[in-house]
Amino acid sequence: MKTIMITGATSGFGEATARLFAKNGWKLILTGRRKARLEHLQDELGGVSNVHICCFDIGHRQAVEQAIYSLPDTFSKIDLLLNNAGLALGLEPADETNLDDWDQMVNTNIKGLMYCTRTVLPIMKQLGQGYIINIGSVAGNWPYPGGNVYCASKAFVRQFSLAIRADLLGSGIRVTNIEPGNAETEFSDVRFNQDKQRADKVYQNTVALTAQDIAETIYWLANTPAHMNVTIMEIMPTQQATGPLAIYRE
């Protein structure tokens, strides 16, 4: 039985992925900051024998290391690490943004990704195989007004994925960066500080991606042949596309 570790498993892509992999017989290590949600998923998806939960802030290095180093023996061989935890906060221009929001995005989207990857990699190296799937964003490739640090953090995820892929050549460990576009999850609720009306407008009169779409993509990747590595996968809704470069006119 294979084991997947999912960061940010309490909602969105992470929760949908947990449900899909549990349905298909995988053991789960689920992390997040909302203990009640983690406990609910554990109970629903197989109990303590199939689901191990770790409640901590991924931006704290010692908490990440302690959680991974103290895994029970039955969960200690991680086959797939899904670096899913991430968030956007605010949509203000750079000169008006809240620096605390910038700090939190860096801590979660960049530092958390680094800490989990660095701590899990030796486990995979010892096994001689493994798979790291990172959740980036089209925002890492196509910046937009108000994206500032969020866009920069997802550009980091892309380059980090490419760089560790280069480091791991010959190790048997695969690396993929998935870059979703507009997806209807709790993402906008978090970005706009639970302003539901504002968040709903992001998905109004269009058909966005769903968390299930991304979960099924992750599951497909996990089941590709070991000799095949999908390096980068950009996924947009059919009703979303890149546009022309902006030009300021007097």
Could you confirm whether 248 is annotated as catalytic?
no
Six token digits for residue 146:
């108000």
Rg for the chain (alpha carbons), in Å? 18
Question: Hey, how many other C-beta atoms are within 10 angstroms of the C-beta on 93?
Answer: 10
Six token digits for residue 118:
């660095």
Q: Which residues contact 140 (CB under 8 A, 6 or more apart)?
A: 151, 153, 154, 155, 156, 157, 158, 179
Query: What is the rounded CA–CA span in Å between residue 185 and residue 242?
Result: 21
Task: Say if residues 82 and 17 touch (Cβ distance below 8 Å).
Answer: yes
Catalytic residue among 115, 131, 150, 203: 150
Six token digits for residue 52:
């191990």
Task: Say if residues 46 and 52 touch (Cβ distance below 8 Å).
Answer: no
Query: What is the rounded CA–CA span in Å between residue 33 and residue 8?
Result: 8
Amino acid identity, position 237: P
Question: Hey, how many other C-beta atoms are within 10 angstroms of the C-beta on 61?
Answer: 15
Query: Catalytic positions, please?
Result: 150
